[in-house]
């Protein structure tokens, strides 16, 4: 099958979904209205609640949700063949992922930009909300550990990659200062300078590698990077959103969307065939990358590219505090997820255009690859061209970069630029991940402050710097420990399982709110994907514990998996009970906006 066919089909599916299904949900189900003031306007404080241009907010939201998941998950799932992954990305993104993101964002906007756990206390009950707080905190820790480990695996022992990624931090800070003090509102000027500086960073990385003293500074081992990434997370969670988080996310959006657009153009120009079979012999299990069968492990391997609970954390964290109008819920919520789904399709294509032996040599441990009886075809030549060791770098990032470099390198005028394209792709992936780490760590800090604030009220003050610093360090240390001690084969399945369970919770809590708003006839829109995702993820979680964690003696990860599954089960049962109660209520009362609802939520 030619890759161009899959690109065209995906664009058509996503465009139709946005124009009809997304618009239907926004207007008929959620009833969005410009007349309602959003929290960014009503509660503006210049720090967290900031009314933001919809394109800038789209950039922040897309950059925050589109982390490693849409890039690495499809690449890892390519071992099953291109067909299962492509079908799940298209169907899951349109009917579950984009719906989840928009509905959860809508719920947070109606609840003053508060967290998913807080929404659960108001829409379900306080006990369920309390349990949800711990569940979300656990899941956020596992998610950030999973995202970070992929970033570290791609960057370690590579001065070019490390320098390029590190350079994006001062570039983003410069953009933030420029927009805040030098030329407020000059988004175009800041963007042009930011993109130009990014290009210089990629080119400068090659220059760094040729100077031994500088190369030594930026050649960091895996343990060193495993410490550097959490330190960055602490800083990003403390600094004002306008200084680092928002400009970096906006800058990275140019990089992300621009790269995916270039990759689409490259595929159109080269028209490569998919080398991976539609369905491989590992469909039923026993694969060197993902040990389990396609069902149910496909659904926890491809996380953010189809549906992701991590998005609920962003959609109830930073984004609702910056949304300027309810009208933009469709553009920011549904639209950003469809864009991420297209990113996932492109990542799957990049991986599947590689020769299968080269793909498995990168993503499997050397000893495991030897047992497959395969021989690499182009990998050694590519390794020489890019100046990096490529075999035995699991996690998906390196194989994606190689696939992208091969496609770009096949264009006649770019044949001698494979090394630049490879390192550009590594930076592209790392920036994807780091933008989720800074937003996720900030949201985790919010959660921890709220939880400690129940006992020590001073921690509820988001401007009290001792509380901000203490909670940032505690939260980051939690996922930093898992990053430092874990590996992709253990952390990624746990991340995927917990991530998808959180998505099911977001969908089910959204179902409760839809019923409370008197729209019970539309409850299937979130209820059906929520229940389906719950069943398949619980099954995958059980198999991961029994067949992966316990046989390897990973008792900490087994315990974390059991805890997360148990907490989520409590939340889901509580939400189901609440739905049954609401369906028995016949009388409506006006809510805070004067609209009829089944029950007034106490804010």
pLDDT (mean) for 67-79: 82
Give the three-class secondary structure for 330. Answer: helix
- What's the pLDDT band for 592 if we cut at 50, 70, 90? low
Tell me: pLDDT of 106 over 80.
yes
174 and 220 Cβ atoms separated by less than 8 Å: no
> Comparing 516 with 397, which gets the higher pLDDT?
516
- Residue 522 buriedness (CB in 10 A; 0-12 / 13-18 / 19+): middle
Q: Residue 102: is its pLDDT beyond 90?
A: yes
The pLDDT of residue 89 is 96
**Mean pLDDT, rounded, for 475-491:** 79
How confident is the model at residue 595, as a pLDDT? 63
- Kindly report the pTM of this predicted structure: 0.83
pLDDT > 50? residue 24: yes
**pLDDT of 453 over the 60 cut:** yes
List of E strands, 163-208: none
- Range with the poorest average pLDDT among 15-24, 94-103, 199-208, 273-282: 199-208
Q: Which of 76-90, 306-320, 537-551 has the highest mean pLDDT?
A: 76-90
Query: H or E element: which one contains 600?
Result: none
* pLDDT score recorded for residue 274: 93
- pLDDT for 593: 57
Indicate the range of 29-43, 93-107, 264-278, 419-433 predicted with least confidence.
419-433
User: Which tokens go with 134?
Assistant: 């711990």
**Structural contact between residues 142 and 498, judged by C-beta atoms closer than 8 angstroms:** yes
Closest CA to 319 of 246, 255, 267: 246
More confident residue, 71 or 505: 505
Secondary element (H or E) of residue 589? strand 589-590
DSSP-based three-state secondary structure for 377:
coil
What number is the average pLDDT over the span 203-223?
86
The DSSP bridge partners found for residue 2 are: 273
| pLDDT at 602 (0 to 100) | 45
Distance CA 142, CA 561 (A): 10
Entry field: residues in the chain: 603
Question: Mean pLDDT throughout 387-404?
Answer: 76
Q: Are 395 and 495 in contact, with CB atoms under 8 Å apart?
A: no
pLDDT band at residue 278 using 50, 70 and 90 as cut-offs: very high
**Average pLDDT for 339-354:** 90
Lowest mean pLDDT of 26-35, 55-64, 308-317, 334-343, name the range: 55-64
Give the max Cα distance, the chain.
75
In angstroms, rounded to a whole number, what is the distance separating the alpha carbons of residues 471 and 483?
A: 18
- Beta carbons within 10 angstroms of residue 528's beta carbon: 14
Reported as a pLDDT band with limits 50, 70 and 90, residue 599 is low
**Whole-number pLDDT of residue 404:** 80
Q: What is the mean pLDDT of the chain?
A: 84
pLDDT at position 600 is 47
pLDDT at position 117 over 60: yes
CA–CA separation, 153 and 148 (whole Å): 9
3-state SS string for 26-93: HHHHCCCCCCCCCHHHHCCCCCCCCCECHHHHHHHHHHHHCCCHHHHHHHHHHHHCHHHHHHHHHHHH
Q: Are 431 and 252 in contact (CB under 8 A)?
A: yes
Asked which of 182-186, 309-313, 315-319, 513-517 is least confident by mean pLDDT, the reply is: 182-186
Report how far residue 321's alpha carbon sits from residue 324's, in angstroms, rounded to the nearest whole number.
9
Q: Give me the mean pLDDT over the 50-56 stretch.
A: 85
Query: Kind and range of the H or E element at 204?
Result: helix 187-209
| Secondary structure (3-state) at 410 | coil
The pLDDT score that the predictor gives to residue 603 is 45
Both ends of the chain: CA-CA distance in Å? 54
Q: Are 526 and 99 in contact (CB under 8 A)?
A: yes
Confidence band of 535 (pLDDT split at 50, 70, 90) = very high
> Is the pLDDT score of 179 beyond 90?
no
| Mean pLDDT to the nearest integer, 386-409 | 78
């Amino acid at each position: 099958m030619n890759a161009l066919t899959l690109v065209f089909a995906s664009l058509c599916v996503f465009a139709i979904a946005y124009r009809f299904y997304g618009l239907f949900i926004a207007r008929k189900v959620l009833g969005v209205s410009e007349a309602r003031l959003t929290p960014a306007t009503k509660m503006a404080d210049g720090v967290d609640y900031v009314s933001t241009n919809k394109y800038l907010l789209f950039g922040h939201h897309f950059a925050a949700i589109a982390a490693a998941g849409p890039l690495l998950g499809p690449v890892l799932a390519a071992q099953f063949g291109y067909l299962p992954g492509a079908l799940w990305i298209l169907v899951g993104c349109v009917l579950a992922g984009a719906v989840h993101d928009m509905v959860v964002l809508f719920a947070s906007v109606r609840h003053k930009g508060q967290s998913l756990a807080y929404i659960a206390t108001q829409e379900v009950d306080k006990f369920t909300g309390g349990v949800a707080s711990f569940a979300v905190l656990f899941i956020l820790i596992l998610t950030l550990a999973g995202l970070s480990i992929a970033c570290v695996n791609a960057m370690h022992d590579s001065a070019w990659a490390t320098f390029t990624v590190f350079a994006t931090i001062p570039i983003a800070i410069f953009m933030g200062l420029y927009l805040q003090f030098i030329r407020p509102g000059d988004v175009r000027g800041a963007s042009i300078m930011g993109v130009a500086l990014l290009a210089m960073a990629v080119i400068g990385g090659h220059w760094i590698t040729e100077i031994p003293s500088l190369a030594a500074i930026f050649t960091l081992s895996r343990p060193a990077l495993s410490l550097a990434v959490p330190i960055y997370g602490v800083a990003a969670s403390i600094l004002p959103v306008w200084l680092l988080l928002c400009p970096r996310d906006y800058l990275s959006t140019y990089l992300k969307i621009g790269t995916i657009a270039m990759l689409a153009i490259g595929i159109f120009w080269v028209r490569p065939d998919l080398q991976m079979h539609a369905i491989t012999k590992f469909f039923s299990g026993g694969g060197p990358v993902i040990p389990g069968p396609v069902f149910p492990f496909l659904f926890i391997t491809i996380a953010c590219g189809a549906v992701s609970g991590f998005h609920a954390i962003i959609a109830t964290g930073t984004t609702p505090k910056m949304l300027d109008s309810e009208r933009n819920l469709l553009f920011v919520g549904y639209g950003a997820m469809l864009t991420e789904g297209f990113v996932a399709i492109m990542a799957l294509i990049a991986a599947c255009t590689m020769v299968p032996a080269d793909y498995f040599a990168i993503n499997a441990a050397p000893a495991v690859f030897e047992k497959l009886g395969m021989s690499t075809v182009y990998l050694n030549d590519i390794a020489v061209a890019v100046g990096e060791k490529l075999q035995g770098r699991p996690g998906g990032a390196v194989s994606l970069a190689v696939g992208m470099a091969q496609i770009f390198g096949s264009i006649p005028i770019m044949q001698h630029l494979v090394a630049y394209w490879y390192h550009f792709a590594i930076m592209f992936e790392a920036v994807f991940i780091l933008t989720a780490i800074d937003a996720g760590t900030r949201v985790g800090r919010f959660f921890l402050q709220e939880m400690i604030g129940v006992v020590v009220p001073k921690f509820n003050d988001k401007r009290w710097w001792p509380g901000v610093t203490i909670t940032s360090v505690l939260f980051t240390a939690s996922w930093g420990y898992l990053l430092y001690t874990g590996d992709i084969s253990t952390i990624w399945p746990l991340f995927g399982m917990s991530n998808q369970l959180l998505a099911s919770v977001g969908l089910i809590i959204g179902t409760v709110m839809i019923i409370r708003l008197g729209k019970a006839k539309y409850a299937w829109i979130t209820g059906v994907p929520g229940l389906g995702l719950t069943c398949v993820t619980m099954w995958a979680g059980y198999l991961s514990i029994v067949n992966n964690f316990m046989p390897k003696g990973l008792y900490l990860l087994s315990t974390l998996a059991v805890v997360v599954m148990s907490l989520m089960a409590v939340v889901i049962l509580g939400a189901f009970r609440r739905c049954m109660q609401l369906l028995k209520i016949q009388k409506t009362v006006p809510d805070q906006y004067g609209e009829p609802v089944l029950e007034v939520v106490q804010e």
